[in-house]
Structure 1
């Protein structure tokens, strides 16, 4: 019984960003962030179009538009007009399995269904019941290649799919060295290839520019007088420095792209690849870089002016705060002086009252004593002087 069509559906995923296009897409259909044709295009409040995934990732890093650096958040991003989505989906692409042999080309919106249902080079499950192996769709109707068979030489179990590869490694089989034509067992052949004296190899300094190549047995004579080998330590040092500078330039370029994402450069038209077009393209690239540099410098100047303005405002606020604190201090000092004056006035009044009372008590005591002396001499009153003094004190 033949397998159903649904069981032949491929589980192979398609990366839309890795597709190859029949013609170069228009620059208006490229995402300013990934510089690839738009995928699920969205539009910002400032009317710029991006891939949905690209702008989401960009907004997680900075809440500004990657093109004009204006403030932007997720609420300002909406789906792009359907016309833009139709334009990018109608672009003609090659099948992602073209390296395996598929020559089909179709619109981008059809490529996933082509790979899932029709591509003869897409991977599908093996048609044999109970087998979980994967094969190409064009081989699905053949016998199962995942079954194990016995090797006719070493009698070991080998999958049918790997039988040819096994013959090249089977320990019971021998093969000829393609350099010296001597026969060796497969396990020994791999070790022999590393030391075969008849193998033609390049000079050890070939990656530095030496073009000499000879048999391994004759290479030692060349190494004794090769100038590139003598300069290898210096050339290696320069190579390491260049790699370090390239890494630094790459990091600086990434930071620059975050600040000012590069715009897509103009693509030359077909049939116009002469020297004049090359020079004009070079001038365009130079002008683009000058524009980016000027834009970055203007952004830097604007940020610096903003910082200076904020510093001036902070200094002005500090002066105002000092004046307010000084005024409040003067007011508090005046209030404290008034309180001190009132306390001093109360203190003086209290002293006057106490002194006045003391004078009244002293004067009353003196008058009472005089009257009691006079009364005792005149009338012979038998009261003592201490009694009259007590009465004065009670009064």
Structure 2
């Protein structure tokens, strides 16, 4: 007796990150790293919640919190509160095999047991002893599908599991085209259907509003006279321009949100609940007053938000003006410092120039005195017979000493 359907455990593993959720999860239940619903949530000492695997991988690269960049180690990570894990595990998800045809949905904590025990599209081991193949659970009761049989049309050996797909492609099997009803081999039918002249197709300007459909053989005559086809370049240009403007608008909105965080506006229901008076007599008058009060609240909220933007702008402008004034003041101080330094250098250059001129005058005087001493007369010296030779020698020595001392002064 073959094992029951529920007793055959699936060989398929479930990737919780690849699941499709029936509802959009709350932003508070998303991991800041992988941006998916939390899986085995953990909490840091700075009260931030992450997936256990995501945070472990992040700490292996850098020992800091991924959000506030504070120092963080593996020992400072603890399991998140059980309430957070329960909220995430109770999210409804589709079966991982929903693309194959399974329409079941369940809570996330039940999806693994569903695939392992109940899903008809999960992969299980073949029931035949000695067969190492796998089949879908819904086909396991039909017996082993891994044996080969001979195709009755082309006499090729085909596995039982592949027989259906083989018959769709077998060159010996013919099928009718669903459009022109022409019988063609399956191998040619695959290429014929996309080009069949009897196939009903839409106008190429259907995306711009043309609703005409006709056989492919006649669609050319329509597109020749179609106004939408004639306007396609203009409409395409406007569509591209609109998409560009939407991207620019999105970028500007993101920059504005970074500069000034958006403030939530009061909803009509909340405003009505806060403005409704408990002791109102007339229901019609109360409803009208709620509507008007709600309108005023929303208008005042928008005015407050606009005033906040203006105040932020004025503050930024005042900061810029203050910085400009400080820069100008620094420029003036720098110019004055350069002028004072230049004046000091000029005074020093003037003193050095006066000292050089004084040295030059002394040198000229010494040179002139030496010429005068050297040119004094041999006639006057010859007529003075009363002078002795010793006196003459002493006078010459005195002049030589004075000249040497003068040279030393010049060198200094």
- Report the TM-score, using the length of structure 2 for normalisation: 0.59
Asked if the contact 1:95–1:111 (Cα under 8 Å) also holds between the matched residues in 2, the reply is no
Aligned length: 351
The DSSP-based 3-state class of the residue aligned with 1:172 is coil
Determine the structure 2 residue equivalent to 1:105.
Answer: 106
CA distance in structure 2 between the aligned counterparts of 1:296 and 1:145, rounded to whole angstroms: 71
Contact 2:29 2:84 in 1 (8 A): no
Match of 1:393 in 2: 396
Measure how far apart 1:232 and its partner are.
1.0
With over 3 angstroms needed to count, the CA separation of the structure-2 counterparts of 1:168 and 1:76, relative to structure 1, is same
Structure 1 unaligned residues grouped into runs of 5+: 58-64, 66-71, 270-282, 376-380
Change (3 A) 1:289 1:88: farther
- The CA deviation at 1:328 is 1.2
Q: Which moved more, 1:233-242 or 1:192-201?
A: 192-201
Report matched runs for 1:61-210 at 5 Å. 74-75=69-70, 82-83=80-81, 85-86=84-85, 88-97=87-96, 99=98, 100-101=101-102, 103-106=104-107, 108=108, 110=109, 113-114=112-113, 117-118=116-117, 120=119, 123-124=122-123, 126=125, 135-136=135-136, 145=145, 149-194=149-194, 199-210=199-210
- SS of the residue corresponding to residue 184 of structure 2 reads strand
Separation of aligned partners in 1, 2:210 and 2:171: 39
5+ residue gaps, structure 2: 59-65, 270-295, 399-412
Partners of 1:10 and 1:29 lie apart in 2 by 27
2:348 paired residue number: 335
SS of 1:155 mapped into structure 2: coil
Find the residue that maps to 1:15 and give its secondary structure.
Answer: helix
TM-score (norm 1): 0.61
Q: Check 1:177–1:287 CA distance in 2 against 1; reply closer, same or farther (3 A cut).
A: farther
User: Residue 232 of structure 2: which of 232, 235, 241 is its match?
Assistant: 235
- Following TM superposition, by how much is the alpha carbon of 1:238 offset from its aligned partner in structure 2, in angstroms? 1.1
Confirm or deny: 8 A CA contact 1:124 1:140 kept in the other structure: no
Task: Tell me: CA distance 1:6–1:201, structure 2 relative to 1, closer, same or farther (3 Å).
Answer: closer
| 1:85-124 Cα deviation digits (max 9, x unpaired) | 4364244222343623252412x4x267447745625754
Instruction: Tell me whether 235-244 or 143-152 shows the greater mean CA deviation.
Output: 143-152
Per the alignment, residue 211 of structure 1 pairs with 211
SS at match of 1:20: coil
Retained in 1: the 8 A contact 2:124–2:135?
yes
Match of 2:336 in 1: 323
Q: Structure 1 residues 257 and 284, CA, compared in 2 at 3 Å: closer, same or farther? A: farther
